[in-house]
Amino acid sequence: MIFIIAGKELKALFASPLAWVVLTGLQLIIAFAFLRRLDEFLQLQPQFIQMASPPGATELVAAPAFATAAATLLFAVPVLAMRLIAEERRNQTMVLLVSAPVSMTEIVLGKFLGLLAFLLVVVALVALMPLSLAFGTRLDYGLLAGFIAGLALLAAGFAAVSLFVSTLTDHPIVAALGAFAALLAMVMVGDAAGEGLKARGWGVAASLAQVLSPIKNFEPFGRGMFDTYAVACSLLLATVFLALAVRQLDARRLRG
Amino acid sequence: MPDPQRASTISAAGLSRRFGNHLAVNDITLELKRGEVLGLLGPNGAGKTTTMQMLTGNLAPSSGSISICGIDLLDQPVAAKTHIGYLPEVPPLYRELTVDEYLTLAAKLHRMPRARRIADVTTAKQRCGLADTGRKLIGTLSKGYQQRVGIAQAIVHQPDVIILDEPTIGLDPNQIREIRALIRELGGSHSVILSTHILPEVEAVCDRVQILHHGNLVYGDTIAALKQMHSGSTVLVGLRRAPPLAELAAAPGVASAESVEPTLFRVQFSGDADACDALVRRAADANWGLYRLQPAQTSLEDVFVNLTRREDSQ
């Protein structure tokens, strides 16, 4: 049942121009960042030759591509997620799902997985760019795998938060802006407060800030580190917001 | 052991719903047996849609209980919902899907086994006159066809209970007749609840009628009883050389008379079987110029005015 809804979401995404615009836009922005770094990397080549252990292409070219992708997802995911619930309510199609013998949890998970599948396509497209360098140089595949996993987790966190915000309103635009604001706030909280809180010795608050900060959890992967704590935080973030979304939909039924 | 064919498919008791301080639906009790078509009648804002939303699990009632085919909707929503097909006021259509894709999705969502799905989608399309539109995008269909897709969606999984909220809205007269015929046909094997504010529609397709007014159930009976109550004893009389109204009202067997137009009167008889005959004779004798005599059509408004007035005076 979950996969039927996920499939429906994926199909609806690709049937709408929105998804294609987002894919094209992301691809253009990321390709631009990628090619610029590649250009710089090639210009610096003569200097690298003199170094004992020069940094590789993966580190210098792929990393910024993934960082750009992470930043652009911050804008793109809220726009994609606004469709999930808010737009269905606006078009009065939510009734079809709610009247069907499907639980709210299945609806939320289905929609989440549908969006996530789309975002994984984005991640794959991003990964293809540095992979194309394999024709000319040796890549650090471990580091690359780390980037991909990190970006996928980041996308999952963004998607869960945006999905929750989408359940709060009937207006797609409000949902998109709200989700964007929430994500931006979470990134800032994690970035600023995380360090600050740790420095003051407020360990619990700092840990919470880390759970709430998808970007912060992305960082270890960028250094080529598979940090289980960061992975756990990402998954926890997604789970919490999906649970909140289910609760919100149930509350809607009670409140009317 | 109750006869399964005559068992209740929907039974709702003491159903109420408040929105803040506003009581939208107040203590409604519904009972529907298999093979019955129930008309839920009421003016706009009477609580029809709210009632239907509660019966389909889209809205939780503030109090009361609902059971669908013996399964409690509030305790086991998923199991109960497999027996319901629902067409809301605005059909829940995905404009970017084709009719086939959409109906297949609806069948999947209702957990129809893969083997039956194609046959069921075809049957639903045929019943709703959509056989040729399977590959068209829903967004490009006209309002009437979209309404049909909405109905097809509600019956594709052959539910025991079909709940239709104003199914003939936005259709042309021919389509309305087709849809009414379809509802009658569905009523043979399923239970149907139908909401409307058009009285002829109820008379045409329903076995029973319940009238809602301000969230209260003000009337519930079979359609035959409703007809008897509000027509037959009232006629419209056209008189070219009409006497004063008082004289008409004083004629034998006439309970009351009122003027609709200068030469057209609505006359209610007091129940005497020959009253109409007497009135015609009187008209001929007195040279009133009788040119028209027809049973008065009762509009929903009349029924309502009657029912609500009676309730207020009690």
pLDDT at B301 > cutoff 70? no
Using the beta-carbon criterion (under 8 Å), do B88 and A92 form an inter-chain contact? yes
Return the structure tokens found at A157.
């966190």
- Predicted confidence at residue A111, as pLDDT, reads 94
- Predicted confidence at residue B2, as pLDDT, reads 46
Q: State how far the Cα of A199 lies from the Cα of B28, in Å rounded to an integer.
A: 62
- Predicted confidence at residue B104, as pLDDT, reads 92
SS3 content of chain A, % helix, strand, coil (to 5): 85, 0, 15
For chain B, what percent of residues have pLDDT higher than 70?
87
Chain A residues touching B96 at Cβ < 8 A: 12, 15-16
Residue B17 distance to chain A (closest CA, Å): 10
As a whole number, the mean pLDDT across chain A is 85
The residues, any chain, with a CB within 8 Å of residue A156's CB and separated by 6 or more, are: A116, A119, A234, A235, A238
ipTM metric: 0.82
- Predicted confidence at residue B235, as pLDDT, reads 79
Residue A123 distance to chain B (closest CA, Å): 26
For chain A, what percent of residues have pLDDT higher than 90?
28
Strand B191-196 and strand B37-41: the pairing is parallel
- Predicted confidence at residue A28, as pLDDT, reads 92
Using the beta-carbon criterion (under 8 Å), do A253 and B60 form an inter-chain contact? yes
- Predicted confidence at residue A233, as pLDDT, reads 83
pLDDT at B300 > cutoff 70? no
Choice between B246 and A172, residue whose per-residue pLDDT is larger: A172
Strand order in the sheet with B191-196: B84-87, B161-165, B191-196, B37-41, B208-213, B216-222
Using the beta-carbon criterion (under 8 Å), do A96 and B59 form an inter-chain contact? no
Choice between A220 and B164, residue whose per-residue pLDDT is larger: B164
Chain A residues touching B92 at Cβ < 8 A: 91-96
Chain B residues touching A93 at Cβ < 8 A: 92-94
Chain A residues touching B97 at Cβ < 8 A: 11-12, 15
Using the beta-carbon criterion (under 8 Å), do B105 and A4 form an inter-chain contact? yes
Chain B residues touching A95 at Cβ < 8 A: 58, 86, 88, 92
Q: Tell me the pTM.
A: 0.83
Return the structure tokens found at A14.
């690709």
Chain A residues touching B101 at Cβ < 8 A: 11
Q: State how far the Cα of A204 lies from the Cα of A206, in Å rounded to an integer.
A: 5
User: Counting Cβ atoms within 10 Å, is residue A253 exposed (0-12), middle (13-18) or buried (19+)?
Assistant: middle
Per residue in B97-148, pLDDT (tens digit) is 899 999 999 999 998 888 888 898 998 888 888 888 888 999 998 888 888 8
- Predicted confidence at residue B283, as pLDDT, reads 84
Using the beta-carbon criterion (under 8 Å), do A253 and B57 form an inter-chain contact? yes
- Predicted confidence at residue A181, as pLDDT, reads 93
pLDDT at A164 > cutoff 80? yes
Per residue in A181-200, pLDDT (tens digit) is 999 888 887 766 666 776 77
Chain A residues touching B82 at Cβ < 8 A: 101
- Predicted confidence at residue B314, as pLDDT, reads 46
Q: What is the mean pLDDT of residues A126-131?
A: 87
Using the beta-carbon criterion (under 8 Å), do A1 and B86 form an inter-chain contact? no
Q: What is the mean pLDDT of residues A115-136?
A: 88
Per residue in A50-62, pLDDT (tens digit) is 777 777 777 778 8
Using the beta-carbon criterion (under 8 Å), do B81 and A99 form an inter-chain contact? yes
- Predicted confidence at residue B88, as pLDDT, reads 92
pLDDT at B81 > cutoff 50? yes
Using the beta-carbon criterion (under 8 Å), do A96 and B92 form an inter-chain contact? yes
> Which of these, A77, A125, A101, lies nearest to A5 by C-alpha position?
A101
- Predicted confidence at residue B228, as pLDDT, reads 61
B296 DSSP 8-state letter: P
pLDDT at A158 > cutoff 70? yes
- Predicted confidence at residue A173, as pLDDT, reads 92
- Predicted confidence at residue A193, as pLDDT, reads 64
| Closest Cβ opposite residue A92 in set B77, B92, B109 | B92
Residue of A nearest to B80 (CA): A101
Choice between A63 and B225, residue whose per-residue pLDDT is larger: A63
The residues, any chain, with a CB within 8 Å of residue A43's CB and separated by 6 or more, are: none
Dihedral Cα B234, B240, B244, B247, nearest 10 deg: -50
Name the phi and psi angles at A239, rounded to 5. -60, -45
- Predicted confidence at residue B171, as pLDDT, reads 78
Residue B219 distance to chain A (closest CA, Å): 26
Per residue in B226-283, pLDDT (tens digit) is 666 555 567 788 888 888 888 878 777 777 788 878 888 888 777 666 777 888 888 8
Per residue in B17-26, pLDDT (tens digit) is 988 888 888 8
| Closest Cβ opposite residue A99 in set B17, B58, B96 | B58
Using the beta-carbon criterion (under 8 Å), do A95 and B88 form an inter-chain contact? yes
Q: Which of B74, B109, B160 to mutate to test the interface with A (most CBs of A within 10 A)?
A: B109
- Predicted confidence at residue A124, as pLDDT, reads 92
Q: How many contacts (CB atoms, under 8 Å) link A and B?
A: 68
Residue B119 distance to chain A (closest CA, Å): 19
Chain B residues touching A87 at Cβ < 8 A: none
Q: State how far the Cα of B56 lies from the Cα of A31, in Å rounded to an integer.
A: 50
Q: Which residue is it, tokens 């652009």?
A: A72
- Predicted confidence at residue B273, as pLDDT, reads 62
Chain B residues touching A12 at Cβ < 8 A: 94, 96-97
> Which of these, B291, B217, B313, lies nearest to B12 by C-alpha position?
B217
Residue A197 distance to chain B (closest CA, Å): 43
Burial A84-101 (b: 16+ CB within 10 A, else e): bbbbbbbbebbbbbbbbb
- Predicted confidence at residue B309, as pLDDT, reads 59
Residue A120 distance to chain B (closest CA, Å): 23
Per residue in A15-36, pLDDT (tens digit) is 888 889 988 998 999 889 888 8
Per residue in B56-68, pLDDT (tens digit) is 988 888 888 898 8
Residue of A nearest to B55 (CA): A99
10 Å Cβ neighbour count for B60? 19
For chain A, what percent of residues have pLDDT higher than 70?
96
Choice between A207 and B76, residue whose per-residue pLDDT is larger: B76
Using the beta-carbon criterion (under 8 Å), do A93 and B93 form an inter-chain contact? yes
pLDDT at A175 > cutoff 70? yes
Using the beta-carbon criterion (under 8 Å), do B92 and A101 form an inter-chain contact? no
Strand B84-87 and strand B234-239: the pairing is unpaired
Cβ(B35)–Cβ(B3) below 8 Å: no
Name the phi and psi angles at B269, rounded to 5. -90, 160
Choice between B143 and B87, residue whose per-residue pLDDT is larger: B87
